[in-house]
Amino acid sequence: MTWQAWTTLAVTIVTLLSLARDWVSPAHTMIAAAIALLLAGVITPEQAFAGFGNPAPFTVAALFVLARATESTGVIQPLMERLLGDGRGGRLAMTRLLVPSAAASAFLNNTPIVAMLIPQILRWADRVRVSASLYLMPMSFAVVLGGVITTMGTSTNLVVSGMLAKATGEPLGLFEITPIGLPVALVGIITLIVTSPWLIPARKAPQDSGASKGREFAVCMRVVAGGQLVGKNIEEAGLRALEGVYLASIERGGEQIAPVRPDVVLQGGDLLNFAGAASKVVDLHARRGLESAESNHVSHFDSAKHRFLQAVVGANSPLVGRTLKEVAFRDRYQAAVVAIHRAGQQLDQKLGDVRLRLGDTLILLADPGFRLRWRDRPDFLMVTSMEGSAPSASKKAWLVGLVMIGVCGVAGLGLLPMLQASLVGVVLLIAFGVLSASEARASIDMDTILVIAASFALGEAMDKSGLAKELASWLSVLTGGGSVHLTLLGLVLATVIVTEMITNNAAAALLFPIAFASAQQLGVDPRPFAIAVALAASNSFLTPIGYQTNVMVMGPGGYRFTDYLRVGFPLTITTVAAMVWLVPWIYGL
């Protein structure tokens, strides 16, 4: 290999490690890689910043705005409410949920769909007395599967489309991936409907009195000095058999009492660590003789003007790895944390001392405007009210639906490229007052846009340095050489593995040059290979960190890391098999 290829390989490896280990944000990582390759002389300035002149990042930005409009107007909510209905659970209910969720995801951004459906599913599951964990993960996976039905279904498809346009002059058409993506999505949904009821444990039973460990929030309360509970034992204080919540431990003078016996006498200043359902730990704040251990924060809020909210910590949140004290949470967010839920782990620390992790669910006391202020920031993946209410369909929902149909119709018929069609849709939404210009601007996830734009530089370096051809040759040797099916299988498996470690957009950018070079070495059309990379990079089911919608349902569903592997493994096997069989068959390779 040339020195340029070795340099590109070294930068690629460091980039992969940084993305996998979260050393810095994905956007900073990809931009640093582009700058390193530019300074090393591997690529020119034009090649380093070619992504910012490509339609892909701007198309994704426009789709973010369209997605915000669908979320704010609740355009799909009435449909989902009717589909869920008041019936019992089971595979029929799952089918009624998964199929329309996947269909909506073919044209709308995945994240707002999941954000809108989570509270509805939680409310419905509580009403029909089934475990929400049986439906939340399949719903997230179905939404991911729906994203591969059309080119606009996910930003990953648009990244590959942009790279294909640069390499061949022809981007992907709106429905070009549908002949492969639709069967793959159907195979995946059928797999979910058949296997997930067997594989997903019921992490929360609504009828359970509170002993369930699946969906517990930790909350720390203090016995008020001189209050009515001082001098009473646990049973006399009425803390022994609370509905939906239990006393896990008592902290007194730096020592911990656990388990807590019924005859333990309470003293003023005792810190009581409770665990239980969200609504029940909130009710503890109204119990006389107890106050929140975070009362110095909570007391600043007027309960008549503030409400309880749930927020899920995001991957790029400044909260990850830090405590509430370290980030000065109340001053930073104008909200107080009253409880924390962490899937698969009981928290017995004072809330201010808990180091937060990706996927932690916080119960907050905040003003009604909190959700609007923070729903587009990386700090939280999702913010919902404690009542689980999603936005009601507004009077302008019909207009958003009409614009979305128009964008898809114009792009699908080839009357306008997808970028122009999306931009026209954005202009119409702003012109008719569905969104203000500032709301449209705030809805764009700039980190995602920067990752997409900067990833083109890495792909360009892999191509120009000859590294892509070298890696394609190694892939050919590993798969026996000369076989389209085996080469495609190796490429798809490599993409699946990489996308579980880093962002799916970055995975597609890294594997695209290898796919293109592999197709050229086999003497076949590179477009089906590029489509296979797009599909494989989007279909992330093995870990909660591979796709952000998977993280969003982790807290509300009470899932553990191994739950994703258990459910995602058969789903990955069937979708990979479908891709490897369909691509050569449909394209006659």
Domain count, the chain: 1
Q: Over 70: is that where the pLDDT of 390 sits?
A: no
Q: Over 70: is that where the pLDDT of 241 sits?
A: no
Question: Which domain covers residue 376, as residue numbers?
Answer: 217-385
Q: Over 70: is that where the pLDDT of 303 sits?
A: no
Higher pLDDT, 472 or 96: 96
Residue 448 CA: distances (Å) to CA of 64, 243, 378, 439, 481 = 10, 44, 11, 17, 36
Residue 203 is classified by DSSP as -
> Per-residue pLDDT tens for 343-372?
656 666 667 778 888 888 888 878 767 877
* 3-state DSSP helix/strand/coil % of the chain, to nearest 5: 55, 10, 35
Q: Smallest Cα–Cα separation from 389: which of 115, 69, 139? A: 115
Helices (H) and strands (E) in the chain, counts: 24, 9
In a domain, 305, yes or no: yes
> Per-residue pLDDT tens for 501-558?
777 777 888 888 888 888 888 888 999 999 999 999 888 888 776 677 777 787 778 7
What is the token pair recorded at 480?
Answer: 């026996």
In a domain, 334, yes or no: yes
What is the token pair recorded at 268?
Answer: 């003023």
In a domain, 533, yes or no: no
In a domain, 585, yes or no: no
Average per-residue pLDDT for the chain:
80
Please list the residues that pair with 292 across neighbouring strands.
221
In a domain, 325, yes or no: yes
Instruction: Say which CATH number the domain at 259 has.
Output: 3.30.70.1450
In a domain, 65, yes or no: no
Helices marked H in 40-109: 45-48, 55-73, 77-84, 91-105
In a domain, 48, yes or no: no
- Confidence class of residue 82 from pLDDT cuts 50, 70 and 90? low
In a domain, 186, yes or no: no
- Confidence class of residue 207 from pLDDT cuts 50, 70 and 90? very low
Q: What is the largest CA-CA distance in the chain?
A: 84
